[in-house]
Amino acid sequence: MNTRHLPCVNSPDPSSVRSAGVTLIEAVMSMLIVGLMLVAALNTVGASRVTQSRSTEQTLGPMLADELMSEILNQAYEEPDDTPAFGRESGEFSGSRSAWDDIDDYKGWSAGPPEAKDGTSLSGMQGWTREVQVGWASSVNPNLGSLTPTGIKRIEVVVKHNGRPVTKLSALRTNGWPSNLAGDEDEGLLELIPDLLGL
């Protein structure tokens, strides 16, 4: 009769088991620390990019608003060559501002990316949009709107970046000079109100 002897298996050394356990814990802890450091680094990079984007918006937003508002305020208060309409008159097309010659020609206009007066898109301005609203302002309280002509037009330019409003610039322009209101009489400009939105 053959007797088969099983190989003798020694029990693991308890000290080596403890050592392996400690090594595993150290590895896990190291991975956790590295992971936390990576998350912190990514958060820092993200915050830096947001700060950079906000800084760009604070610079370009007012510039774009100022440039367009200056153009509008340099137009006549009312259509000089045709029967005035509160909006664009005949022959003044929305594709180009070249023929626009009075303030309310800009009513409801918007372009993104922003355009020069001849309709040429401004380079490097992807993601930016300019919008204009023109309406009547109350002669009693110019902060309020009016559905009927009052002799005061409110112009509002809003600049958006990636769909988010970042700058609003408002101005009031008069035809004659209302004696009950203060402002720049020579220009017929009552007030110019800059507003950085969401910054």
- Binding region for Ca ion (CB under 5 A): 79, 89, 101-102, 104-105
- Report, in Å, the least distance between residue 74 CB and Ca ion: 13
Return the ∠ at Cα 136 (arms to 97 and 165), rounded to 5°: 60
E strand segments, 53-163: 110-111, 128-137, 145-146, 152-161
Nearer to Ca ion, 68 or 166 (CB): 68
Nearer to Ca ion, 102 or 131 (CB): 102
- Report, in Å, the least distance between residue 167 CB and Ca ion: 25
- Report, in Å, the least distance between residue 61 CB and Ca ion: 27
- Report, in Å, the least distance between residue 172 CB and Ca ion: 17
Residue 164 makes CB contacts below 8 A (sequence gap 6+) with 198
Residue 168 makes CB contacts below 8 A (sequence gap 6+) with 65, 156, 157, 158, 159, 194, 195, 197
Nearer to Ca ion, 79 or 115 (CB): 79
The phi, psi pair for 13, rounded to 5°, reads -70, 120
- Report, in Å, the least distance between residue 85 CB and Ca ion: 5
CA atoms within a 13 Å half-sphere pointing along the CA-CB vector of 38: 6
- Could you give the 3-state DSSP secondary structure of residue 110? strand
Nearer to Ca ion, 79 or 131 (CB): 79
The answer to whether the CB of 175 falls within 8 A of the CB of 103 is no
Nearer to Ca ion, 77 or 128 (CB): 77
